[in-house]
Amino acid sequence: SQTIHQWPATLVQPVGSPLSLECTVEGTSNPNLYWYRQAAGRGLQLLFYSVGIGQISSEVPQNLSASRPQDRQFILSSKKLLLSDSGFYLCAWSGLAPLQQFFGPGTRLTVL
């Protein structure tokens, strides 16, 4: 069966520090991968999606970047965090049915 892992579960970082969140998927090949963020009082917002290794599309301009170095690995990064980067970050994957997305447990990021 397929599983999706995210780490860390929680993270507290100072403003201006770098960020690296990792997501890995097991039990499937060539998945579509997604990074979402939920800010306080808002819905889940799609940040990035990837349909293959090295293929990244950004949905919104922002302080973050994403990379897909391997088929089942998706990384969310920032060189310098802003206060507004605080939120709940979710990684998801989909297969042949792209709208049925399977989410990881998420990372709660607090930027102080």
Residues contributing to the site for other proteins (CB under 8 A):
4, 6, 9, 32, 34, 36, 38, 41-46, 49, 51, 59, 90, 92, 94, 98-106
If the CB atoms of residues 14 and 42 are measured against other proteins, the closer one turns out to be 42
Q: Which is nearer to other proteins, 4 or 111 (CB)?
A: 4
Backbone angles phi, psi at 34, to 5 degrees: -140, 145
State in angstroms the smallest separation of the CB of 53 from other proteins: 15
| Smallest separation (angstroms) from other proteins to the CB of 64 | 18
Nearest distance from residue 79's CB to other proteins, in Å? 26
In whole angstroms, how close is the CB of 60 to other proteins at the nearest point? 12
Contact at 8 Å (CB) between 28 and 2? yes
Please give the sequence-ordered ranges of beta strands (E in DSSP) within the chain, or none if there are none. 3-7, 10-13, 19-26, 32-38, 44-52, 55-58, 65-70, 73-78, 87-94, 102-103, 107-111
Tokens coding 28 = 């499937």
Q: Give the whole-angstrom CA distance, residue 96 versus residue 40.
A: 32
Q: Which is nearer to other proteins, 59 or 79 (CB)?
A: 59
